[in-house]
A and B are shown apart, each in its own frame.
Chain A
């Protein structure tokens, strides 16, 4: 799987939007961009994924750059429960079911 780069940590205030960046300059044309988050002492949970177009779901939005070399996970109104480590992961569409490759992710801190 291609490599992703994320900031180690970010801080935001409660009830404000949060933009979590991810760089993936070596992304291939068949790589999907996935985001997972891990709450303290929990397993990761799926957040969202996309290929080329921006995506929205009940948890977040995913904005993908036109050249696909970067993406941004957007939490529209952060709450204290959004404090977690957020992982950006690339998965080839033909990658099969051989597991995910996790980096260190971004530790999101939410201030009340």
Chain B
């Protein structure tokens, strides 16, 4: 079945370390997204990419970096510059041509990152 795979499910990071979260989709979707969710809060957009080799900052991009070398992959790196990285991270995708006709977004199951 097609879907989005996020790995790992749980991740622990020491302060000052960079860490990369994986997001892979086999839906042939063009656009991919990274969101951050803090306890009791809604999702906030970190970065998004509408096409390979191109991406845009979302509302809270500081301290994060992304790459989009392949259509199916959109990894997120949480750098040491992110002062409060402990959160639940969610990846999503949508077919780009359907982004304008309000087709539903597909989300992964998330990665819970904890700084120790």
Instruction: Give residues in A with beta carbon < 8 Å to B.
Output: 32, 34, 36, 41-46, 49, 87, 91, 93-105
> Quick check: A41 and B100 within 8 Å, CB to CB?
no
Other contacts beyond A34-B104, A97-B96, A101-B45: 9, CB < 8 A:
A41-B88, A43-B91, A46-B106, A49-B102, A96-B100, A97-B31, A100-B45, A102-B42, A105-B42
Question: For residue A44, which residue of chain B has the nearest CB?
Answer: B107
Chain A-chain B contacts (Cβ-Cβ < 8 Å), number? 71
Taking a contact as CB atoms closer than 8 A, the residue among B40, B45, B88, B110 that contacts A99 in the complex is B45
Assembled-state Cα–Cα distance A103/B91 (Å): 17
Residues of B within 8 Å of A94, CB to CB, are 100
CB contacts under 8 Å to A, within B15-48, are 30-31, 33, 35, 40-45, 48
Using A97-B50, A99-B33 as known contacts, say yes or no to A87 and B42 having CB atoms under 8 A apart. yes
Inter-chain contact B90/A104, CB cutoff 8 Å: no
